[in-house]
């Protein structure tokens, strides 16, 4: 799993592409007025969590969690959401996930990841024909 693989369905002929297909990532412009659909076709498996209070001073009430998120073909992880006070990292295991942020749709394939920081405002979808699976690790406050 440590080897980086390019996404199989990236179109290098796309005139809006900002990255070559070999990078496992492709960006395309999308209308900024586009609204994200509600979440559908998504399953989340909680893999592990640790209470950060006893581990790091000032982190009481926060956890570091790891989840496996599966987005079925045509599935959406929405609506638009932010990561203020909930930073994280995502790593794609299989399939292709399209990340919509700042009016740009970026496709990520297996072996590629991205950060989600306080400036992140986005939604995700699977435009492919196979399930997309990501590992998501973030710091959050359980309700």
The CATH number given to whatever domain includes residue 77 is 2.60.120.10
Number of domains in the chain: 1
Residue scoring higher pLDDT (18 or 51) = 51
51 CB contacts (<8 Å, ≥6 apart)? 62, 63
Residue 113 lies in a domain: yes
Residue 90 lies in a domain: yes
Encode pLDDT of 69-95 as tens digits: 999 999 999 888 888 989 999 999 999
* pLDDT of amino acid 24: 60
Residue 108 lies in a domain: yes
What are the phi and psi torsion angles at 84 (to 5°)?
A: -60, 130
Share of the chain above pLDDT 70, in %: 75
100 within 8 A of 37, measured Cβ to Cβ: no
* pTM summary value: 0.74
Residue scoring higher pLDDT (27 or 98) = 98
**Position 7 confidence tier, pLDDT thresholds 50, 70, 90:** very low
Whether 12 shows a pLDDT value over 60: the answer reads no
**Domain span at residue 136?**
21-140
Residue 12 lies in a domain: no
92 CB contacts (<8 Å, ≥6 apart)? 24, 108, 109, 110, 111, 112, 113, 132, 133, 134
């Amino acid at each position: 799993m440590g080897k980086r693989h390019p996404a199989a369905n990236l179109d290098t002929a796309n005139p809006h592409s900002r990255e070559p297909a070999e990078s496992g990532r492709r960006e395309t412009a999308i209308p900024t007025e586009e609204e994200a659909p509600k979440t559908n076709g998504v399953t989340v498996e909680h893999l592990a969590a640790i209470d950060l209070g006893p581990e790091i001073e000032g982190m009481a009430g926060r956890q570091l969690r790891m989840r496996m998120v599966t987005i079925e073909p045509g599935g959406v992880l929405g609506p638009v959401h932010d990561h203020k006070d909930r930073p994280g990292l995502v790593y794609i295991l299989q399939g292709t996930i399209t990340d919509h942020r700042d009016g740009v749709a970026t496709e990520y394939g297996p072996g590629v990841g991205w950060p989600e920081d306080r400036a992140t405002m986005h939604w995700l979808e699977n435009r492919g024909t196979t399930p997309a699976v990501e590992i998501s690790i973030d710091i959050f406050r359980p309700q």
